[in-house]
Amino acid sequence: MSEQVPDVIGCYAPGAIHTLEARGFQVNYAATPADAGIHPIDRMRVTRQRRTSPNIIELVLVTQSYGKGVEVVAYKITDDCTACGVCEMECPLGAIEEGDGIYVIDQDECTSCGNCVDSCPNGAIVEE
């Protein structure tokens, strides 16, 4: 039986990597294209994780702290939202909450991971 992988989604990258390596996993990671090579790893958070073999975990990282001059790709929820709540459940950082008739994204918390866009059954979430 293989060891269960700790859920590190939403954690800062250094802590997540340390946690996984301490459990004996090999960790591979990549930043999203917008963040690759621009930001130090200690300012990034894990947005996706995937076990690719019994001892290898792949992580996707995005910038958590947006500094001056950094372009942020964020999302907004349009009037096509039917308030089904799927996006809220899929957001790893809890940046989506029920608003006045439709759900809303807290732009200060959103890391642009895209989980909400991928999960919305109505296509109501678009780049801002």
Backbone torsions φ then ψ of 80, nearest 5 degrees = -75, -5
Transcribe 55-88 into DSSP letters. TEEEEEEEESS--TT-----EEE-TT-----HHH
In the chain the beta strands, taken as DSSP E runs, fall at: 26-31, 44-53, 56-63, 75-77, 96-98, 103-105, 125-127
- Structural domains in the chain, CATH included, are 13-63 (no CATH), 75-127 (3.30.70.20)
Q: What are phi and psi of 115, to 5 degrees?
A: -60, -40
- Tell me the pTM: 0.49
> 85-118 pLDDT, tens per residue?
999 998 888 889 998 889 999 887 787 777 888 8
Tell me the C-alpha distance between 117 and 128, whole Å.
12
**Running DSSP on this structure, what letter comes out for residue 42?**
G
- Rounded CA separation 24/4 (Å): 11
| Residues 58-82: tens digit of each pLDDT | 998 887 544 433 444 578 899 999 9
Question: pLDDT tens, 6-64?
Answer: 888 877 788 889 989 999 999 998 876 555 566 677 778 888 888 999 999 999 888 75
DSSP codes of every residue in 3-26: PPPP--TTSBHHHHHHHHHHTT-E
pLDDT at 124 over 80: yes
